[in-house]
Amino acid sequence: MDKNTQKARLKSIKKFNAVKYKEYNKKQRRKRIPESEYMTTMADDHNILEFDNLRTYFYTDAGTVKAVDGVSFQIPRGATIGVVGESGCGKSVTSLTTMGLLAGPTGQVAGGSIRYNQKSQNRAVDLTKLPRKEFEKIRGNEISMIFQEPMTALNPVFTIGDQLCECISLHMPELKKDEVEARALEVLELVGIKREGILNNYPHELSGGMRQRVVIAMALCCDPQLIIADEPTTALDVTIQAQILDLLRNLKDKINASIMLITHDLGVVAEMADYVVVMYAGRVVEQGTAEDIFHHPAHPYTIGLMKSKPMLGEKIDRLYSIPGNVPNPINLPEHCYFKNRCESCVEACEGLYPELVSLSKTHKVSCYLCGKKGGEN
């Protein structure tokens, strides 16, 4: 590309972004948003969370990054949903959008909605439109998040006790001080930390595994309805990984919460999830029950992922790897994003991005190959 077109393009990006930032700031400054604006109704009352065509864009200097581009799936109450995909496919951004933690004005929700079934108030709200004050009541209380970096997720200058009790007394103001501490010890015990004086320890005095447990305890301390776990075990040793996963599974049964488990580790998903959502370049390419995805994968990308996972007892020379690279997230093509790496691509793939088609009641896939089969199945 020659210099002038590049310059012109950069200029138009700059202009476009300025408009977007202005809009965002205007929205942020608004006060007293009427309830009607963020009230909504659930498509299915059994679901705790419904993503409906969610689009989260980042307006960067190099252009608009469509990190999440039209994602739709549901999280039923009490279920564990695994969201898988390569790094940069929009998993983490989906979870941050849900928590309302996008770093504005660069990152913004460009469209769609996240419907949350707020049982405590007997209503359903759209998290993308929720004002900050309302959000603060939900965050950490009804929806909580476990972050991926245990080393940096805790504030180094406050004790574990400070950080835990702060969360508890914030959402349960009726508790007295000693009751708050008792509650903190209770959740710590729940995650398997039973140690004298742990509340007075600083984060740097604990090991990585312990810190991750504290982070999990922090997410659990108010009996959340939904736990978003963003790669909770990636930074940990394998042995501790297994412990933490066990812990999450047991906890889910104990407090009957739903879990949205974000990971790129198919093994973890196979072990934990009831439903699986496969994402690629900001879009859902396939979703279904764990059974559907692991035993009857339909999308070539999912098939590729499965093939690239080492299997015990299988005799192969080398592991399969999907050819090519993830496309540049700026200015994605019109056609299927996976087309250029796809081994089984056909004429139809040159057309527009394929719609999501249902293969069965639970199993959905967006691929031209399966569209034809969809009718037969």
Partner 1 sequence: MRKYIIKRILISILVLLGVSIILYTVARSVPGDYVTNITAGNQNITPEMEAQMREQYGLDKGLVEGYVDWLVDALHGDFGTSFVYQRPVAQVIKEYMAPTLALSGIALTLEVILAIPFGIWAARKQYSMTDYTIVAIALMGISLPSFFFASILRIVFSIKLGWLPISGMLTARMNYQGFDLFLDYARHFVLPIVVFVITGVGSMLRYVRTNMLEVLSADYVRTARAKGLPEHKVIYKHAFRNTLIPIVTLIGGMIPALFSGAVITEGIFSLEGLGNVALKAVYNGDIPYLMGFNMFIAVLTLLGTLVADVLYAVVDPRVRY
Partner 2 sequence: MSDNKELLERNLKEQDEFEKNQVIMTPGQLIAKRFFRNKLACFGLGVIIVMVLFCAIGPIISPYGEYEIFYFDVNTNAEVRMDKVSGNPNLGVLVKAPISASHWLGTDADGRDVLTRLMYGGRISLTVGLVVVGIELVIGILLGGIAGYYGGAVDMIIMRLCEIFYCLPFVPIMLILSSLFVGYGISPQKKIYFIMIVMGVLYWASVARNVRAQILSLREMEYMQAAESTGIKTWRKILKHLVPNTIPIIILIATMDIGSVILTESVLSFLGVGIAWPYASWGNMANVVTDSIILKNYPNIWAPPSLLILFTVLAFNFIGDGMRDAFDPRMKR
**What residue ranges bind partner 2 (CB under 8 A)?**
1, 6, 9-10, 13-14, 60-63, 106, 323-325, 327-328, 330-331, 333, 339-345
Nearer to partner 1 among residue 145 and residue 185 (C-beta): 145
Q: Is the dihedral of CA 13, 14, 19, 24 positive or negative?
A: positive
Q: How many residues at the interface with partner 1, by CB under 8 A?
A: 31
Nearer to partner 1 among residue 135 and residue 320 (C-beta): 135
Q: Give me the residue label for tokens 């250029």.
A: 340
**Residue 288 binding: pick among partner 2, partner 1, none (C-beta 5-8 Å cut-off by kind):** none
**Residue 362 binding: pick among partner 2, partner 1, none (C-beta 5-8 Å cut-off by kind):** none
**Residue 42 binding: pick among partner 1, partner 2, none (C-beta 5-8 Å cut-off by kind):** none
**What is the amino acid identity at position 173?**
P
Tell me the per-residue interface mask from 169 to 188 with partner 1, x by CB under 8 A, - otherwise: -xx-----------------
CA dist., res. 190 & res. 283, Å (int): 36
**Residue 63 binding: pick among partner 2, partner 1, none (C-beta 5-8 Å cut-off by kind):** partner 2
Q: According to the binding rule CB under 8 A, does residue 16 interact with partner 1?
A: no
Q: According to the binding rule CB under 8 A, does residue 144 interact with partner 1?
A: yes
User: Where would I find the H helices in 30-147?
Assistant: 35-38, 91-99, 132-138
Q: According to the binding rule CB under 8 A, does residue 15 interact with partner 1?
A: no
Query: Shortest approach of partner 2 to residue 38 CB, angstroms?
Result: 27
**Residue 61 binding: pick among partner 1, partner 2, none (C-beta 5-8 Å cut-off by kind):** partner 2
Cα separations in angstroms, 310 against 301, 313, 314: 16, 9, 8
Q: Quick one: which segment of 72-80, 157-165, 343-351, 360-368 binds partner 1 (CB under 8 A)? A: 157-165
Asked if residue 161 lies in contact with residue 181, where contact means CB atoms within 8 angstroms, the answer is yes
Asked if residue 359 lies in contact with residue 377, where contact means CB atoms within 8 angstroms, the answer is yes
Q: Supply φ then ψ for residue 276, to 5 degrees.
A: -130, 135
Query: Shortest approach of partner 2 to residue 73 CB, angstroms?
Result: 27
Smallest CA-to-CA distance from 138 within 114, 162, 160, 159 is with 114
Nearer to partner 2 among residue 4 and residue 36 (C-beta): 4
Nearer to partner 1 among residue 224 and residue 354 (C-beta): 224
Query: Shortest approach of partner 1 to residue 227 CB, angstroms?
Result: 11
Nearer to partner 2 among residue 344 and residue 362 (C-beta): 344
CA dist., res. 282 & res. 67, Å (int): 5
Is the peptide bond prior to 105 cis by the omega test (within 30 degrees of 0)? Answer: yes
**Residue 167 binding: pick among partner 2, partner 1, none (C-beta 5-8 Å cut-off by kind):** partner 1
**Residue 154 binding: pick among partner 2, partner 1, none (C-beta 5-8 Å cut-off by kind):** partner 1
How is residue 326 annotated by DSSP? P
Query: Shortest approach of partner 2 to residue 145 CB, angstroms?
Result: 22
CA dist., res. 267 & res. 218, Å (int): 26
Q: According to the binding rule CB under 8 A, does residue 149 interact with partner 1?
A: yes
Based on the number of CB atoms within 10 Å of its own CB, is 344 exposed (0-12), middle (13-18) or buried (19 or more)? exposed
Phi/psi-derived region of residue 194, left when phi > 0, alpha when psi is between -120 and 50, beta in every other case: beta
Residues in the chain: 377
Q: According to the binding rule CB under 8 A, does residue 137 interact with partner 1?
A: yes
Q: Give me the residue label for tokens 């192969």.
A: 316
**Residue 147 binding: pick among partner 1, partner 2, none (C-beta 5-8 Å cut-off by kind):** partner 1
Nearer to partner 2 among residue 7 and residue 119 (C-beta): 7
Q: Quick one: which segment of 117-125, 158-166, 283-291, 306-314 binds partner 1 (CB under 8 A)? A: 158-166
Helix (H, G, I), strand (E, B) or coil at 97: helix
Helix (H, G, I), strand (E, B) or coil at 182: helix
Q: Which residues neighbour 201 within 8 Å (Cβ) at sequence distance 6 or greater?
A: 159, 160
Residues forming the site for partner 1 (CB under 8 A): 25, 99, 101, 132, 135-141, 144-145, 147, 149, 152-159, 166-167, 170-171, 202, 204, 215, 218
